[in-house]
Amino acid sequence: MIARKLCLVGYDISAPRWLARALDLCREYATGGQKSVRGCWLIEAEKRELLTRLAGVIDGESDRVHLLRLDPHGQVRAMGLAVKREDGSSFLLGA
């Protein structure tokens, strides 16, 4: 079985048109998120594919994309209006 890894994808994109495209791309892989930060459970091939696709919609001079691998066993702390996420053993990828 291929192991999925929990990743956090964040982006700062200046052009509204490209920002919307980056959001749509990330939503295809995400299990949740807010504004320009998305949580994704990815296998290595999906991670490469997402980064390649995002590279096609950003301006390398002014925009930024960060992908961080997180510890899936780490403690989740919800603050403010945040709701602690309870991910099940499966999820829908894409729409």
Instruction: Walk along the chain (95 residues) and give the pLDDT tens digit of each residue.
Output: 778 898 999 999 988 888 999 999 999 998 888 888 999 999 999 999 999 999 999 988 899 999 999 887 788 776 777 565 665 555 555 54
pLDDT confidence of residue 95: 45
Q: 87 lies in a domain?
A: no
pLDDT confidence of residue 90: 55
Count how many domains the chain has.
Answer: 1
Ranges of H-type helices in 1-95: 16-29, 44-55
Full-model pTM: 0.73
The CATH number for 41's domain is 3.30.70.240
Q: 78 lies in a domain?
A: no
Q: 63 lies in a domain?
A: yes
Q: 76 lies in a domain?
A: no
For 14, phi then psi, to 5°, come to: -80, -35
DSSP state of 61: T
